[in-house]
Structure 1
C-alpha cells in the first residue's frame, strides 16, 4: 500500500513521520481560515487569508526565510495582496486571536498525543 521509500522512513524515523502527519492535520489551511473567521473579533478576511499569513510567519520562525518581507518575495506570485497588507494584518493581530490559536492547536493534537501516553 505504501511506497518502499515511505516505508523506510517509518522504520527509521517513526516519530518524524508521526510528527509530520500531526502537523499536517493541525496546520490545515482550510481549517485555519474557518477557525480565524469564527475567532477574530476585529479583523476580517478580504483578500489575505489567515493561512497565508501563518504560512509566511512559519517560514520565518523555522528559519527558511530571514524576514516576512523575504518570505513574501519568495511567494509573491501566489499571494494576491501587497507586502503592506501583510504587515497591516500582522500589526492588527488581536492578542486574543493569538492565544486562541495556541488553544486551537492543542485541542487538535490532544486526541492524538493522548494516545501516546
Structure 2
C-alpha cells in the first residue's frame, strides 16, 4: 500500500486544499449528478464544478468512511449528506476512485447514488 497516496487523498477530504489537485487533473462526475461531466484542470474543478454542484443544495457535505489504496490508486467510500434547497435532508452513498502521482491528485472518478442525490437537488 502506498501510504503517501492514501495520505494525500485523506488530506483532500480533511482540508479541501486545492494545491493537492494537479493543475491538469481530470475530474469525472456522473452525467446524472448535478453539474455532472468531465472537468479538466484544477481551475475548472475549483472554479466551475464546486460552485455549480453546491448551487443545487442548501447543504452539501462529503463524509468518507473507508479508504483502500493500491499503488497510485485510492478508492474511498462514504456518504454525501445533502439538503434540498428548502432544507430537506438526505444521504447518498458514493465511491470515489483517485489517482495520485508525484504527490498530487491527477484523476478523480465518482460513482454515486444519483437517484437519492437528485431527489434533494434543484432537479427535484
Q: TM-score range by the shorter chain?
A: under 0.3
Per the normalisation by structure 1, the TM-score is 0.24
Q: Which structure carries more helix by proportion? A: 1
